[in-house]
A and B are shown apart, each in its own frame.
Chain A
């Protein structure tokens, strides 16, 4: 009877995870962006309702992305939709709400979990866990259900095709521009048969299990008596058909194997976890201590190829290091890393820290001044399908990406594809959705080529920062940049920010794409090279909308500051609209002025919304 009640409780927690979010809408300047945009456009003899990035009528093949609809939407609708995003994201306070938001964005409906049943093979282990923490054993039935749900995602693939696909993605060089000799088309064809909604269902189920376990363990009056002694390695260590279940005490523990569940009560622990093999569901919950996490071979510690990998750390100054597909990253699976407290350090190889390829990758850090470093494709990055999310709710954070994989367009340049970067694998796999959301703190964002709210080949890449005096620095293709039927957005709500860019961005759309930079309140400084600050090319649309503050625009390079250029018949449109404040352009004060940059673009600086 007790066991049945426990399973019902977990079921209700899972269903709570799956239910819709109610988000309060506040009313700051960014949310009024559409009003400013309409008023600004009225001075240009043009309505933003008439402007659209992709009028070609050609889609990109099989894009798993909201971009197909976004780029054909008019500019006013797009800005209206995304101006509210910052408020909505700011109102969330649980990882599940961000999961659900990404699910809504992708347009999936989430399958419901089945009734939880404790399988015979798990009963002994569950009873042992119950003896340690009454009611906790039922969570194992939840993990078995998460396993069942994630297997549903692959039901349209044969075992041989799964093996084939695993072989393709194992060492796939995402950082290359083209892949002659590699069966990319086949890899994409097979990947498209993965039913992504089930990955979210599995992850949300894991969120419910985690909430249940925390509640029980943290409230347990027996926890003090269950911390173990220095000689006692684990409070519980049992095998099950789904993997080992380990409970570690409050002393320092070392974990070196992949498990179904590791629950650690405290101590400065060391995790060195090898890659997981299919079928794979794993969950690690560490409640206290400054821990060291290492996944030298990748595919562990909140990272997976196929399967679900969940890592949750509640306290302490933690260090995370790993290779590919770890620390909240997944290919054809779900990888989640949640860190609740402490000043943490994250170092990752390519495709880590909120990265995805046809999957769900999420890194969420709730508190502390954190430091993120990734070589390529991370800190919210997604290729071709699914979503890569990095959620940072508080602290002065540093994000750095790139430095390893050359971009041959410029000597010494490297590819970053990070910090809200979504890219298709051109030309076979269009799409991908990525969001880096940072709610508070004075943050520093650094990349080389591509990112900070950038979309490429059907990708939808977003960086949203709510508050704080932030600095953004990048080489090219960044800070609200869309390339080739894609969508790139950088939205910064409040704070005096500085933007530095080599070229192509700060609201630049190239080739039937949208690139948008929305800036709310604060005295901001802009430095840019060419094709920036509201620039559209080859049919693309670029917009920099600066709502308020005394801003400084250093003299930019060619094709900048509300500039549209044309290739063939494809004329791009570029708009720079600065609404309020006393602004300087190249050290000259400017106000109440409209400048047309050729036929296809305009910059406007005048008091709007008064």
Chain B
């Protein structure tokens, strides 16, 4: 029996997968937030010693199960980060790696940019996009922009959009950053991109770079 709001160790024999399933039912996840959070806390506590086992629970088709595991990993923090890096270095199944990268976006730290490198060069959009989002989440400008710049001319509009957005996000974190003229020109060339979202995003990133301090619109929450 789990008391609402009080993290406890799960009873012996209750696996991480079972905890994920319990917390990841729509009823618990949406309608019983205290119970959900309590189960996630137990999951994090039990997964702390062996985060690799918890990572394997990311390989699920069910969106709520994924979200439960993601939250547990975030609450573990650095131990989970180390485990994710180790797994990403293995370069296993692309779908699993995309899930790991989605988690790494929140767990990664400045200095972890190198882990995104091979995924950015993988040629697989399912890996490229979450890797770009990772750099947007924690990347330092110099290291990230070197990795991202070639993607501004990618044949995929989605990759171009993610890249120009990520550069804007990175610059937004540090107002002292002034990208060189070549990078600015490359971004400026996207002002005539056929996709309007890309044009708008390029304009916004240029405004951030020029130091006008444009606020990035807050993403809408809860529409799922």
Residues of A whose CB lies within 8 Å of any CB of B are 46, 50-52, 55-58, 176-178, 180, 185, 406, 408-409, 411, 426-428, 504, 510, 531, 537-539, 558-559, 565-571, 573, 598-600
Contacts and interface: CB of A to CB of B under 8 A. Distances in A.
16 contacts: A55-B158, A57-B156, A58-B126, A177-B63, A178-B65, A408-B29, A537-B223, A538-B223, A565-B217, A565-B220, A568-B165, A571-B161, A571-B200, A573-B197, A600-B200, A600-B217
Contacts of B125: 56-58
Given A58-B125, A408-B27, A180 B196 contact: no
Q: Which of B63, B156, B217 has the most CB of A within 10 A?
A: B217
Contacts of A185: 61
Nearest to A49: B194
A46 B220 CA distance: 24
- Classify chain B: how many residues form its interface, as a range: 35 or more
Interface in B3-47: 21, 24, 26-27, 29-31
Contacts of B201: 569, 571
B48 interface: no
Given A180-B65, A571-B201, A50 B220 contact: no
Given A56-B158, A569-B132, 20 more contacts: A51-B196, A55-B157, A55-B195, A177-B63, A178-B24, A178-B63, A180-B24, A531-B223, A538-B223, A565-B217, A566-B216, A566-B217, A566-B219, A566-B220, A568-B162, A569-B129, A569-B136, A569-B165, A571-B201, A571-B217
Given A55-B195, A411-B31, A566-B217, A599 B200 contact: yes
A50 B217 contact: no
Contacts of B133: 568-569
B37 to A, nearest CB: 15
B26 A177 contact: yes
Q: Which of A558, A559, A600 has the most CB of B within 10 A?
A: A600
B223 A573 contact: no
Contacts of A531: 220, 223
Contacts of B200: 571, 599-600
8 A-B pairs with least C-beta separation: A569-B165, A408-B30, A565-B220, A178-B62, A569-B162, A567-B219, A408-B31, A56-B158
Nearest to A44: B196
A504 B62 CA distance: 23
Contact of A510 (B132, B204, B223): B223
B177 interface: no
B29 A537 contact: no
Contacts of A428: 61
A330 B200 CA distance: 46
A567 B63 contact: no
Contacts of B190: none
Q: Which of B164, B217, B223 has the most CB of A within 10 A?
A: B223
Contacts, number: 101
Interface in B71-104: none
Contacts of A504: 223
Nearest to A184: B61
B166 interface: yes
A185 B129 CA distance: 26
Majority-rule SS of A interface residues: loop
Contacts of B191: none
A55 B161 contact: yes
Given A408-B27, A408-B30, A573 B196 contact: yes
B98 to A, nearest CB: 11
Contacts of B29: 408
A411 B32 CA distance: 11
A558 B220 CA distance: 9
Q: Which of A58, A176, A538, A569 has the most CB of B within 10 A?
A: A569
Nearest to A409: B30
A178 B220 contact: no
B64 interface: yes
B205 to A, nearest CB: 11
Contacts of A408: 26-27, 29-31
A191 to B, nearest CB: 17
Contacts of A178: 24, 26, 61-65
A380 B217 CA distance: 37
B217 A569 contact: no
Contact of B196 (A46, A558, A570): A46
A565 B196 contact: no
Contacts of A600: 197, 200, 217
A311 B80 CA distance: 60
Nearest to B204: A599
Q: Which of A176, A566, A573 has the most CB of B within 10 A?
A: A566
Contacts of B64: 177-178
A127 to B, nearest CB: 57
A177 B136 CA distance: 31
Q: Which of A55, A176, A426, A567 has the most CB of B within 10 A?
A: A55
Contacts of B195: 50, 52, 55
Contacts of B157: 55, 57
Contacts of A409: 30
Given A180-B21, A568-B162, A599-B204, A559 B220 contact: yes
A212 B70 CA distance: 62
